Amino acid sequence: MVDVDLSQPPFTFLDEAGRERVRGGVDLAYFDRDEIILETGQPGEYVFLIHKGEVAELDTTRPGARERIGHYTAGDLFGAISILNGKSRYRFQAEQESLCYLLPKALFLDLCDDHPAFAEFFRQTLAHKTRLLTEQRAAGGVTMAGFMLARVDECMRAPLCVGPRATIAEAVTTLHDSHADSLLVEGDRGPGMITKTDLLNALVLEGLPQDSPVQSVAHFALVTVTPDQYLFQVLVLMTRHQVERVVVTEGQAAVGVVELTDVLSYFSSRSYVVSLQVEQADSLAALTAASRRTPELVRALMAQGVKLRFAMGLLAALNGRIINKAWGFLIEARYHRDSCLMVMGSEGRGEQILKTDQDNGLILDDALDWPDCAEQMQRLTETLIELGYPPCPGNIMVSNPDWVGTESQWQRRIARWVEQRDGDSLMKLAIVLDAHAVAGNPSLLERLRETLFRLCAGDQLLLSYFARPALHFSTPLTLFGSLKKPQHGIDIKKGGIFPIVHGVRVMALERRIAVTSTLDRLDALVADGRLEARVAEDLGEALSLFTELRLKQQLARLDGEGTQGAEPDRVVVQELSSLERDLLREALHIVKDFKQRLSHHFHLEYA
């Protein structure tokens, strides 16, 4: 019986009996330096698991240095695809003296037949492999069912309805008899929502007679979901739209209602009530206390194995509400309609999970008279710092007059940046392009974005200049296609995240796509016909992987763990599991191919 380490995927998808069959069925083989282990076109007879040494994967149809497409080290395996496909597509050659465990073809195929998850591992794309990694991590901690598997139809209540001719008195009686807090009223435009508070305001504050039609106080602009959506998505919608109830619909029919209390009670961990604490905060002190708990929420989401796209959506909505409430506490209501507070950078894209530097600005209506605006913006910046949002080293904050202005002033700034098109101007255009309104009147930002599109989208020379930074940082792969492994780690932000984020941002600008999230921009580019669905999926999964690895490093730093002196954007390859290294290598190759695509489309030089 061979003592082989089977603690990493794909062997974790076998049961203990399956792993015992592997230990009893493998042999250990030695390969000399430069020896060909598996040749192109050769039938696959073994799965090779490297015990010691290094093996190169070579595409012999490519010229020179470009033929090396993969690199395998201790703990990695190769040869399985050659068995499944009948022959090897590439050459595998030892780069140094190597020892490999050999799993015979017959045993491998038997294991695939007996363990479908094991077989599926070898047939999956990056998207599916990262999902397997997420599920594997979650299986070691809290069950994923709370967030990933819980659906709306498991939590919704049957709708309480009244007819289109019902009166306020009848609605009050219905709510009282049913011990409910809300009901739906049928209307010409579909169902409308009425709460106890709506009825109380109508009778006491507005003085409406009891026999008034209840339709007159109903809300018909509803937030709706479908029964098969995840409860996690409902929580994101409630936070983003500042509502405590959503209506569940199938087609045009209302089939249920989900209330915030239902969702929060479904999730047992105290971490998930952060959003409720934010909503209930009635002072800056209470808001600060809730805001400081967001790292706890992030840890809980990661432990649950929540898909990163959902986690980013919730945290973006939550951060937006925190900033919105701070604005409401500090800024007089008379200024709200004629001003717009916007967040930019990763906040604007909804991709800031842990709080990092502030990036915000303010747009004012041309006719607004606000004498102490500068003092109020200084106070807002200081308050956001207290809430846990660090100051921006580049001073891109509302406390800086350069990032506050009337609508006309902002239009002139954008026109000047477009005309100058130097590095600083292009950076500022990129920052504003990601802007998202979190308080005040969002139409001011929408008009500003239209100005930006009008001046930039059709200017091919400007787009070429704008795209160039996406190619500026080298991809952390060696000349031979393997991962670089410096002791201080690879910069995952420069080498992986930024090329995708900025490249997709430029493509979205060219097509006048208004959404700001990178993942939403990818979806929009597919719908626009600008990107193939498979390419967009790979880019989205690569971005999620990079973000998760970076987040893992950031959380370790918060906990005082991780590599001593490591920077938050650096990932130490040597500390990753075999599967993580494999996924990272594949994701970086996706980035490399995307940069090649950008260079071709925008006529840029790229080595």
- Residue 573 and residue 489 in contact, taking contact as beta carbons nearer than 8 Å: yes
pLDDT of res. 99: 94
Three-state secondary-structure class, residue 355 = coil
Residues of the chain with pLDDT below 50 are 137-148, 268-271, 479-480, 564-565
pLDDT of res. 149: 52
Three-state secondary-structure class, residue 245 = strand
pLDDT of res. 309: 78
pLDDT of res. 605: 79
pLDDT of res. 567: 67
- Residue 441 and residue 337 in contact, taking contact as beta carbons nearer than 8 Å: yes
The residues pairing with 440 across neighbouring beta strands, listed in sequence order, are: 340
Task: Write out pLDDT tens, residues 424-442.
Answer: 999 999 999 999 999 999 9
pLDDT of res. 607: 57
- Residue 483 and residue 491 in contact, taking contact as beta carbons nearer than 8 Å: no
Three-state secondary-structure class, residue 286 = helix
pLDDT of res. 564: 47
pLDDT of res. 411: 97
What do you get for the CA distance between the two ends of the chain, in Å? Answer: 49
pLDDT of res. 549: 87
Cα atoms in the 13 Å half-sphere on the side-chain side of 383: 22
Question: How far apart are alpha carbons 190 and 286 in whole angstroms?
Answer: 39
pLDDT of res. 392: 92
Give the tokens for residue 381: 């910046």
- Residue 519 and residue 577 in contact, taking contact as beta carbons nearer than 8 Å: no
Cα atoms in the 13 Å half-sphere on the side-chain side of 470: 30
Determine what percent of the chain falls in helix, strand and coil, rounding each to the nearest 5.
50, 15, 35
DSSP codes, 168-208: HHHHHHHHHHHT-SEEEE--TTS-EEEEHHHHHIIIIIS--
Task: Write out pLDDT tens, residues 380-436.
Answer: 999 999 999 999 999 999 999 999 999 999 999 999 999 999 999 999 999 999 999
pLDDT of res. 229: 86
pLDDT of res. 146: 44
Amino acid of residue 497: I
pLDDT of res. 512: 96
Question: How far apart are alpha carbons 410 and 431 in whole angstroms?
Answer: 13
